[in-house]
Chains A and B, each alone.
Chain A
Amino acid sequence: MPRRASRPVQIYLPIAEISVNIFLLLGLGGGIGFLSGLFGVGGGFLMTPILMFIGIPPTVAVSTQAPQIVASSFSGALAHWKRKTLDVKMGGLLLSGGVVGSFFGVQLFAYLRSLGQIDLFISLSYVGFLGVIGGLMFLESVRSILRARSGQPATAPRRRRRSWVEQLPVKMRFPSSGLYISIFPPIAIGFLVGVLAAIMGVGGGFVMVPAMIYILRMPTNVVVGTSLFQILFVTALTTVLQAGQNQTVDIVLAMLLITGGVVGAQFGARAGRHIKAEELRALLAFMVLAVCFKIGLDLVVTPSDLFVVTPVEPQGGP
């Protein structure tokens, strides 16, 4: 879509090879940053589809998300580190799975791109993951809101009987989280998040946080810090891999989104203090489901052009 605006506000992105309004990018970063500060997630699941919508090539949108998440998760993890609400041991274990997942994801990304099916794959991943996670989160939060309204004391759902997770072998002690569990579930979750980071351009917080709470049953106060810690390293690795292998990281785009994002995140975090945790979760779930619905609709509705034209060479010629 050709945009004609006055000169000074447009900036040409060297890797995306498109001219975009600076304030649009700063505002976008700020808006997503606000939401990520509010909900404690990276917001990549919102940012990537929006970047594609404004005309950034999908491959660049996905890859450029990674450095943006590095910046936001670094400042977030640092704050949790100072407050000692970060389980480094658990984070390291998640990370070991994440590193393998990230390598695997970048390869898968390159392969699917060569088949011409990357768009469909990204869309289907979004619909699948957002639908499941959003749905579960929505049900859970509505249940806790109803429970809080009816005046019953919040029964801690974490302290139920032994689950299948606790019966797996090779257990390890995690003092910060107060857990004694098998090392396999954290590695598997880390791997999944690493793959997601590479192919969906997301940090994976929206998968990791619920997985840590509901599958690993970690205490809520260390969940966010630990997830940020893992996301920081996985997205840093993804940045280097995407830049090294696919040359699709646009640093100018990333820095503009980061600048807007860090400011927005501060306001979001402040706004979040005035809302109850379960209501916040319900809101986030609602938003996740809305994005899922929109992407799902685009897959089903008859497109305006029934043909797709893409360059064979990875974009950015000599």
Chain B
Amino acid sequence: MLGALLLALSLQGQQTIIQTEAPSIVAALTHETVEIREDFVGQELVLYGATRGLTIQDEIVVVLRGPEYDLRVMRKERNFGIWVNSDPLVFADVPSYYAIATSLPLENIASDDELAESRIGLPSLFARQPVNMPLTSTAPDETPGFETAAPPAPADPDILPYLQAIARAGERQALYAEAQRGVEVLDGGLFRATISLPPLTPVGDYVADVYLFRAGRVVASRSAALRVEKAGLERFIFDFAQTLPWLYGLVCVMLAVLAGYIADVLFNRR
């Protein structure tokens, strides 16, 4: 009798697990575009989301990635007493902005390998080979400081300090940020993440990825797009300088001469 009851209970328990909906996640940003105007000093973004089938052991990770660009990293070396940039390495397609918000410290959510697979976290950003590109049109072996040998493997210990330097530079400018517990889980499977864009926020297309982790594995994910662009006067000046650079230069000179003339009129009348 007792045995049958226990069996029934355990069966029922199994059934509830089976009945649970497949986990899913949705998210939206408060802004679809961020405009950089003359008073831009950075901006707070809020990402709202909802999950279905959120259980107590589930965790949420939000990643916002900025447009990618190529970085050149050089090591300073003392030469004849002064510090000279040497041994340049070029890293292609590094995100210019990278912020993570999580509901638990990242190392408690999943293993490094699992995170690297989804390309989450600063270490995984750089799990790729640096490329040595000849930066001038001349033959690469004539360019001093550029090795012509095959690029080193990613695990190369020589590369590690370079990667750490990229991470340090990004963190100094608040372009790389990790907010442990930056994701607030609310009632009913809702959550909210706050991400701040610093004053040096690069312009371009951003992607916000939201991951639902269960037992150290990604069980659902979703993306939302964000665009950061210059607007108003900032955009006008920037576009002018880019599209008609020579005319822009002439206008700069004329404005400067005008300012000098006004100064002369104002101060040298007597």
- Interface residues of chain A, those whose CB is within 8 Å of chain B, are 1-5, 7-8, 10-12, 14-15, 17-19, 67-68, 70-75, 78-79, 111, 114-117, 119-120, 236, 239-245, 247, 249, 251-252, 254-255, 258-259, 262, 265-266, 299-300, 302-303, 305-313, 316-318
Residues of B within 8 A of A302 (CB): 83
- Interface residues of chain B, those whose CB is within 8 Å of chain A, are 36-42, 67, 69-76, 81-85, 88, 90, 133, 135-136, 143-144, 161-162, 165-166, 168-169, 172-174, 198-200, 202-204, 230, 233-235, 237-238, 241-242, 245-246, 248-253, 255-257, 259-264, 266-268
A-B contact pairs, 27 of them (CB 8 A): A4-B41, A12-B37, A15-B241, A17-B200, A19-B41, A71-B260, A71-B263, A74-B256, A75-B261, A75-B268, A116-B85, A236-B253, A236-B256, A239-B249, A240-B252, A243-B246, A251-B252, A262-B260, A266-B267, A306-B76, A308-B74, A310-B71, A312-B70, A316-B238, A316-B242, A317-B203, A317-B204
Q: Once bound together, how far apart are the Cα atoms of A317 and B69, in whole Å? A: 9
Select which of A8, A305, A308, A312 is within 8 A of B69 by beta carbon: A312
Select which of B83, B198, B249 is within 8 A of A244 by beta carbon: B249
Q: Are B256 and A307 in contact (CB under 8 A)?
A: no
Closest Cβ of chain B: how far from A255's Cβ, in Å?
A: 7
Residues of A within 8 A of B69 (CB): 311-313, 317
Q: Are A262 and B39 in contact (CB under 8 A)?
A: no
Q: Are A303 and B83 in contact (CB under 8 A)?
A: yes
| A252-B237 in contact given A115-B136, A241-B249, A247-B245 (Cβ < 8 Å) | yes
Closest Cβ of chain A: how far from B127's Cβ, in Å?
A: 18
10 closest A-B pairs by beta carbon, nearest first, are A243-B249, A74-B260, A307-B165, A240-B249, A262-B263, A70-B256, A312-B70, A19-B199, A309-B169, A75-B260
Q: A12-B41, A114-B135 are known contacts; what are 9 more A-B pairs with Cβ within 8 Å?
A: A67-B252, A111-B136, A115-B136, A240-B246, A254-B256, A255-B255, A262-B266, A307-B165, A311-B69
Closest to A77 in B: B260
Q: Are A245 and B245 in contact (CB under 8 A)?
A: yes
Closest Cβ of chain B: how far from A26's Cβ, in Å?
A: 13
| A239-B263 in contact given A120-B84, A310-B72 (Cβ < 8 Å) | no
Residues of B within 8 A of A240 (CB): 246, 249-250, 252-253
Q: Are A239 and B256 in contact (CB under 8 A)?
A: yes
Residues of B within 8 A of A254 (CB): 252, 255-256
Q: Are B173 and A2 in contact (CB under 8 A)?
A: yes
Residues of A within 8 A of B237 (CB): 14-15, 251-252
Residues of A within 8 A of B259 (CB): 71, 255, 258-259, 262
Residues of B within 8 A of A236 (CB): 253, 256-257
Select which of B83, B143, B268 is within 8 A of A79 by beta carbon: B268
Q: Are B252 and A300 in contact (CB under 8 A)?
A: no
Residues of A within 8 A of B88 (CB): 116
| A5-B41 in contact given A72-B260, A312-B69 (Cβ < 8 Å) | yes
Select which of A67, A116, A300 is within 8 A of B83 by beta carbon: A300
Residues of A within 8 A of B165 (CB): 305-309
Q: Are B73 and A309 in contact (CB under 8 A)?
A: yes
Q: Once bound together, how far apart are the Cα atoms of A142 and B230, in whole Å? A: 53
Residues of B within 8 A of A258 (CB): 256, 259-260
Q: Are B257 and A249 in contact (CB under 8 A)?
A: no
Q: Are A12 and B234 in contact (CB under 8 A)?
A: yes
Select which of B40, B70, B73 is within 8 A of A308 by beta carbon: B73
Closest Cβ of chain A: how far from B241's Cβ, in Å?
A: 5
Residues of A within 8 A of B268 (CB): 75, 78-79
Closest to A312 in B: B70
Closest to B75 in A: A307
Q: Are B250 and A12 in contact (CB under 8 A)?
A: no
Q: Are A67 and B136 in contact (CB under 8 A)?
A: no
Q: Once bound together, how far apart are the Cα atoms of A240 and B252, in whole Å? A: 8
Residues of A within 8 A of B73 (CB): 307-309
Closest Cβ of chain B: how far from A294's Cβ, in Å?
A: 14
| A11-B38 in contact given A71-B260, A78-B264, A313-B69 (Cβ < 8 Å) | yes
Residues of A within 8 A of B70 (CB): 311-313
Residues of B within 8 A of A303 (CB): 76, 83
Q: Once bound together, how far apart are the Cα atoms of A299 and B79, in whole Å? A: 10
Closest to A18 in B: B200
Closest Cβ of chain B: how far from A18's Cβ, in Å?
A: 6
Closest Cβ of chain B: how far from A14's Cβ, in Å?
A: 4
Q: Are B161 and A307 in contact (CB under 8 A)?
A: yes
Residues of A within 8 A of B198 (CB): 2
Q: Are B71 and A312 in contact (CB under 8 A)?
A: yes
Q: Once bound together, how far apart are the Cα atoms of A242 and B203, in whole Å? A: 22
